[in-house]
Amino acid sequence: MTESRNPLRILAPDAAVPVIARELSRRRFLSLAAVVGGTAVLAACAPGAGSAPAPQATGGDLEGDLSVYTWGDYDSPDVVANFTSELGPRVALDSYSSNEELIAKLVAARGTSGYDIVVPTGVFIPQMIENDLLTPFNKDLLPNLANMDPAYLGRAWDPSNDYSVCKAWGTTGFVYDKTVITRELATWSDFFDAAQNEASGRTSMSDDPAGIIGAYFWANDMDWNTEDAAELEECRAFLVETIAPHISAFDSYPGTNAIPQGTQVLMQAWNGDARLGLLESSEPDRWQWVLPGPVTELWMDNWAIAAGAPHPEAAHAFINFSMTPENLALNLDYIGYNVGGKDMEQAAVDAGLEFTDMIFFTPQQLESMREQTLNDSQTTRVEIWNEMKAAAGA
């Protein structure tokens, strides 16, 4: 998968937009500014930007249907089935592969997408709010917000949770084959050292400019949101000239194939996907998961309601239903990411959930995680990513 080196306004309501967006990877959420040529572009995409429509749900009867536009395989089938069984609305799930695809669909539809619930990653939410792509919650209809851990509420993109609430969150680390790399790896510097040595030619990195470029800044304990041209040039030189020749693949989902099949020795991975790989491997003890120091990333996907949602009562009911302790547990077990509920770690351990240390993190580990922001360096970041892939022959 590649992106044009020239800014491309994929948020414009163009017939080609969905095709382009489907080519983007699962959680490459931080490439938006580069793709559209700057963080302010959304302001030109929708009329009436900045005006917040009133909540459309009042607590009336639930509609008979509900349409959810979300990431693929991101909801427990039991939660969906139980919602219909207990409350009535039939749920239709449709999936996208990137935030870009989601936003392109909503912008093109101008409130007539037919979708009720959407699940954007946090960094996109302020621009979506500004451009009337989301409907504010009627929080009177979401009493189960009380079941959410305050640590995952009030994020910078929506401080009062007026438009969004945590669906799931995770981080980025790496997995290595202990039968090949016999020393302990603990940091992003270790990752890059092993990539050039024991794992040369058998190392994969995420198909994601954010994670790849982030890893360089994390290894050097630098601000990964930097816009400093000299720092970005040093990043480019290291990744393109030093690391790229050792990279054999750019794969955002090593847990699907590479870990179970043992096709790589060292793999950058999101925690939930890495956990899936260990669960699917016939030799889980062969692999070591690392949450690397000194810093790494934090991302969060969020429940939200699309502007013009045709079934707002059912949308609120489903989000509220998903935040019961029982359903939070079902979703956590199914997707393998922290879903933000209170007091879930001990319950997961007591239930015998495997590799819980890949879902729940210590306060010290959380202190090492940093969120990314959209800024004017995104075009440069995507260019570095493209150059690195070209240098690797990918």
Which DSSP string do the residues of 17-61 spell out, in sequence order? HHHHHHTS-TT-GGGHHHHHTSTTGGGGTSTTTTPPPPP---S-P
Buried b (16+ CB within 10 A) or exposed e, 309-347: bbbbbbbbbbbbbbbeeebbbbbbebbbbbbbbeebbee
The confidence score (pLDDT) of residue 374 equals 77
Of 25-29, 185-189, 256-260, 383-387, the least confident: 25-29
Fold match between 17-169+299-361 and 171-297+371-385?
yes
What sign does the dihedral 226-153-105-24 (CA atoms) show? positive
298 within 8 A of 171, measured Cβ to Cβ? yes
Quick check: 60 and 87 in contact, CB under 8 A? no
Specify the residue for token string 């998961």.
Answer: 289
Q: Is the pLDDT of residue 271 over 70?
A: yes
Q: Which range has the top average pLDDT, 23-37, 55-69, 302-316?
A: 302-316
What would the pLDDT profile of 128-184 be if each residue is shown by its tens digit? 999 999 999 999 999 999 999 998 999 989 999 999 999 999 999 999 999 999 999
Q: Which two tokens stand for residue 34?
A: 């580069």
Residues 394, 391: Cα–Cα separation, whole Å: 8
CATH code of 17-169+299-361, in short, is 3.40.190.10
**pLDDT, position 25:** 34
Query: Domain map of the chain by residue range?
Result: 17-169+299-361, 171-297+371-385
Q: 380: closest CA among 226, 255, 264? A: 226
Q: Give tens-digit pLDDT for 227-245.
A: 999 999 999 999 999 999 9
Q: Can you count the helices (H) and strands (E) in the chain?
A: 15, 11
Token pair in block for residue 268 = 């950058």
Residue 55 has a pLDDT of 61
Nearest to 167, CA basis, from 55, 365, 322, 19: 322
Direct distance between the N- and C-terminal alpha carbons of the chain, in angstroms, rounded to an integer:
9
CB 223 within 8 A of CB 373: no
Percent of the chain with pLDDT over 70: 86
Task: Tell me how far apart the alpha carbons of residues 135 and 122 are, in angstroms, rounded to a whole number.
Answer: 15
Q: With contact defined as beta carbons under 8 Å apart, do 149 and 341 qualify? A: yes
Q: Say what the pTM is.
A: 0.76
pLDDT tens by residue, 87-139: 999 999 998 877 778 988 999 998 899 999 999 989 889 989 999 999 999 99
- Average pLDDT of the chain, as a whole number: 85
CATH architecture assigned to 171-297+371-385: 3-Layer(aba) Sandwich (3.40)
Identify the burial level of 47 via C-beta atoms within 10 angstroms of its C-beta, where 0-12 means exposed, 13-18 middle and 19 or more buried: exposed
d(CA 337, CA 335): 6
Rounded CA separation 247/243 (Å): 7
